[in-house]
Every structure is written in structure tokens, then in C-alpha cells.
């Protein structure tokens, strides 16, 4: 029964976000093909933002990396360690953004990839229409 609710929540979330951005056809495709909500958001962004307007800080994180990335973990690392981010996905992502921007964050700072910024901005929108 729990699985039915999760599937229904996924379908409703995708449908609502697709409707909000007038991309119902893409939403239908996502539901039919079993895309995760995260994958749908990524595809939606690709459809909404023209390729020449994509942010430089989009580094191509996989769906799994987007799910595993933790801003809280990065903040904890930089607040508890004088060196800042030492290792892990958050460090690798910050380094990748740093390379693209040809710039370094402040001593105890880090860069957040575009994919994570989008995930964290849209997650509350999706949650407003779901069954949990």
C-alpha cells in the first residue's frame, strides 16, 4: 500500500510541476516512462532554459549525486574544520565549479552547483502537492 501512495505522489508532483510550467506533455512522458521527480525537474529545466542561458555552475551531476549531495554536511565540515571541506561529493562538486569559474571560494567557503540550487528551490514546491 505504501508503494501505491509513493507512486501516486510521484505522479501528482510531476503533473503539478509540469502544469505550472505548461509542460504537460513532458510530464506525461515522465510519468509513463517512470522517471523520478528529480530527473523530471532536470529535464524540465533543460526544456525551459535555452542552452546558451544555462548557468556556468551547472557541472553535470548525476541524479544519484544530486540526491546524495548535502548542504548541511558541507556547512558542518567548514564550521568544524579549520581547513574547510576536506573530501567527499561536496568537495568534488565545489572544486568542479571552482574550475569552471576559474575562481576559488573564500578560505572557509565552498561553491554550490546549479543542480543543487535548483533541487533545493523546487523541493518545497513539489512537497506542497504530495502525499507523504
Averaged pLDDT for residues 87-114:
87
Looking at residue 121, its pLDDT comes to: 63
Averaged pLDDT for residues 53-58:
76
Residue 62 forms part of a structural domain: no
Looking at residue 119, its pLDDT comes to: 76
Residues 6+ apart with CB under 8 A from 24: 15, 18
Looking at residue 131, its pLDDT comes to: 40
Quote the mean pLDDT of the chain: 83
The DSSP code sequence of 37-55 is HHHHHHHHHHHHS-GGG--
Residue 30 forms part of a structural domain: yes
* Domain limits for position 17: 1-55+122-132
CA distances from 114 to 16, 29, 67, 80, 120 (A): 22, 24, 14, 25, 10
Q: Does position 124 have pLDDT exceeding 60, yes or no? A: no
Residue 82 forms part of a structural domain: no
Angle at 65 between CA 63 and CA 66, to 5 degrees: 65
Looking at residue 126, its pLDDT comes to: 47
CA distance 88 to 126: 28
Residue 86 forms part of a structural domain: no
* pTM of the predicted protein model: 0.55
Looking at residue 76, its pLDDT comes to: 87
Residue 21 forms part of a structural domain: yes
Residue 69 forms part of a structural domain: no
Residue 117 forms part of a structural domain: no
Looking at residue 51, its pLDDT comes to: 66
Averaged pLDDT for residues 13-31:
93
Residue 49 forms part of a structural domain: yes
Q: Structural domain tally of the chain?
A: 1
Amino acid at each position: 500500500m505504501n508503494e501505491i501512495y509513493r507512486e501516486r505522489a510521484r505522479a501528482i508532483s510531476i503533473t503539478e510541476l509540469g502544469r505550472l510550467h505548461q509542460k504537460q506533455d513532458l510530464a506525461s512522458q515522465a510519468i509513463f516512462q517512470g522517471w523520478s521527480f528529480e530527473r523530471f525537474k532536470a529535464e524540465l529545466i533543460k526544456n525551459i532554459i535555452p542552452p546558451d542561458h544555462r548557468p556556468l555552475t551547472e557541472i553535470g551531476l548525476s541524479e544519484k549525486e544530486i540526491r546524495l549531495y548535502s548542504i548541511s554536511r558541507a556547512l558542518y565540515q567548514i564550521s568544524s574544520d579549520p581547513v574547510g571541506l576536506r573530501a567527499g561529493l561536496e568537495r568534488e562538486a565545489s572544486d568542479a565549479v571552482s574550475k569552471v569559474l576559474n575562481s576559488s571560494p573564500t578560505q572557509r567557503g565552498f561553491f554550490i552547483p546549479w543542480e543543487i540550487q535548483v533541487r533545493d528551490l523546487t523541493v518545497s514546491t513539489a512537497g506542497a502537492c504530495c502525499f507523504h
